[in-house]
Chain A
């Protein structure tokens, strides 16, 4: 495995949604993702964190072209997905798969497990007859289920088992890149660890690359090589996972990390939280300059006027005027 190969490069990605305006019915733009860039190396995991509505899912869906990007490039294995033609898109869709947050909603209740996992095999004409059946059993085994489960329906499974079925379906087409959008948020802690361990084992055995979207920062730290923090459609800080948690530079990252409750009474008692005032502003008319300035305790005049640029080296980049 070539560890230095960049498999995914997202460049200045923008996704605006038109929304009906509140005044005079004039339509305006919701800036869900606004100039986002990152690269991911083969076999590694980029964790994408931030509060709900900051644009994480939109980044994932735009990469897969489930949403057409407003502008920007998504370069997968040297090829720009954004300008790919429909027939090229089909092969790319096979190489990039997605695992969703809600294992209940994302599986068709009227299909058996075998049909669910077999569907992508049929769409991409990967296996038929006995080979198809064997492949389905192999996939079930890979995710810790077994052949007996193939004839059952989703409602007969627990949340963790359903998430395994979703993972097996994603793996069916032998993807190289998987976007995991909050894959464990709906699961109990004891089951979360089962799914995380499975994702890690699969990554080691199959050389998979992950974009791992989550709001559980401890879990993101655990699974990621690199972590990007988003706020209101923008990445504000991106660094190697260990570095980001040991040495957060952006005031928003600092507040986010300090907000995590620690499962240790002694540490919890001494811990001083940075409490952010108010709520996240609307992405329809985001604050000018630094988008965080309305809640930042270090904001200066320049912060409301000028957007901060990224500074730092390849291991750690921060967009803040303080740096």
Chain B
């Protein structure tokens, strides 16, 4: 029980631009302790991309630009996403997939395959 609890806390602390507040607080923990988040390169200009906008729906669970911060799958750089999108055995993914058309999935896939994959991200598809 205790072990599980502290594991979660560690998990949250790892990603959360973390700051300790409250009684006896005032300590600030490094916001990026182990490089779990990617280096960001901002573009010089804006260009329209429908696939990118649709794929932003994936980021809440699979990470910004498809790089997950934990064992949930990273999808950056994937070329086969269209094939597995509707077949994922994860029930929540199955539920979300139902809301997207094949055409939208193709659009999402063509954007995702252009994205660089983080070295430490997980794309095992085992979650």
**A and B physically associate:** no
